[in-house]
Chains A and B, each alone.
Chain A
């Protein structure tokens, strides 16, 4: 019995010995493996720390650049705000003298008509005028004055109308926004912007005038920030003109005339009547898919240094999406043109 117990104990001890031996072997292998893993972790963490430091340096540089940019923007904003009110004041100041001129044109026309009719009576009564009168009449070319005077008056009238229109557009465009949205005639905003851009739309020695096709829908005033919305129209229309001018490169005046530059502005209510849609379309150079992805990115521009800031579309997007909870989308086919679609909720 005792020898059986001893045998059992020996077996148990042998088993324990086998297990301990194996565990020792494994422990050594595991220790080496752990050292290896830790070396890797050390290297990984060092590299990540280095990357983070590099990233931090880049962020600091970027932060300094941004600070400078914010400062410049603030200066610009201040200047623009001063300019805006100056423009509004000047437009208002111009209105008064233009008012005098426009107001006096009708009496002038009447006076001239009266004077000319009086002259007619004189001429009929004294058909044989003195030599001195005859001489003077020839020297001043009385007949030409008679014909030209009404044309002069009508040209002054047109001039005053145009100045008055421009002054009104400048006042509409440069109106300062309040903290609250106000009711605004979107079409008036587009028209004002077009008047201000007229010098860029009209014909020049390289190309005929850009055709602007307006297709305005009927809807009531829209609650919005008019100054900001006008800025969006300005950015989109100025970009459309840039795209058209770029598409003219290498073409003659007549070639462009054959396929004229066009900007189509279409406004309507959405199908659910809850949104206003404004589509601004050009038949210019178009946008590639690659650029389309980045087009609303801050500081992204394809224009030459000094020509574009990369802010226009980014600001337009911000104004429509963030300030008005709307959408700004672009459809474009390279070489065929682009269409920007603004959606503004009205309810």
Chain B
């Protein structure tokens, strides 16, 4: 979870890191009051989870309170990298003699927090790492002892030749390391760490990313989450205990396990479609999770077909099937759904779906191909209103593949389809390569149902 700059500043201040006093404002009037209280020149900074705020016009210098209010009026409500600015930080404009970088990141290869310092501050550290790697000094912190004073001082001297300033920087590093463990950060950065003309060392900006796994045991940090910076569907998913990431495609994916979920998205793309989301229902076996997942997927108007891909391990297929039946009884689906069930209690799961009038596939490639084809048909149907009746709101007709005519792709040999993914899915109405002309045998029951 990303913290806003003003939240990160507050945490670092609590740990004793010297920072100029600043405050956050949600209205131009608040900004004016804060600027008047601080006195002199101030900086008005947009509080959004995006890099490059300065370039986007989200950071402005104001010479007095009136100008600060004017800048705040301009910045509040503006959009930076698709995120709306709801708050601005008003900070005194410090006189800067030099800028450097201090950051701690939990390093996967070292399996420890690594302290990084660089005299090249004020710019993106990744850029420094790419262009002048010799300007970055690294030190792996032993979590049993924390950052030791001599280690910090050694790095302090890499930033400043002056003993007083090196000591001040070392003190800041030790406090930053303590803050990392105190809030459960996977990254904590001060960029820039500056020296002022009178020689003092100050942190001017702060960035903290908290490990999501820490939030359960740190409710005070979890409370800092800014839900307005996330897609509403992602907020709903998190509250339902699902891992969900919204994407731009048309195939809604509901999968158990993160690796399989990613592989499913990749396969959707392989067969010419685009995934609408990443969704992992997790390892538990609760039908309600499937209901919540389908609710979130169907709320996305971009979703033209739903693909459920389950490989049962500790997740049981019958529980998932029950969830699907429960969900569709609560809110009828408006788009086709393709279900793939394999693994633990597969037979029971398929039986439950069959009884409810749905069917399930057992092969992942087949399921993905069908879902991509359904999404494509739906898109085509939506654009030509006269053909709308051809679109079904029931479960995938492709699940009854054996009864489809031979000229339809669904019965083509899988090996051939695998080598012609694009061809297999081409939707050309005239030559009937897709189910806009599915056989009557499939259509008829739907009519009699009505």
Physical interaction between A and B = no
B residues touching A (Cβ–Cβ < 8 Å)?
Answer: none
A residues touching B (Cβ–Cβ < 8 Å)?
Answer: none
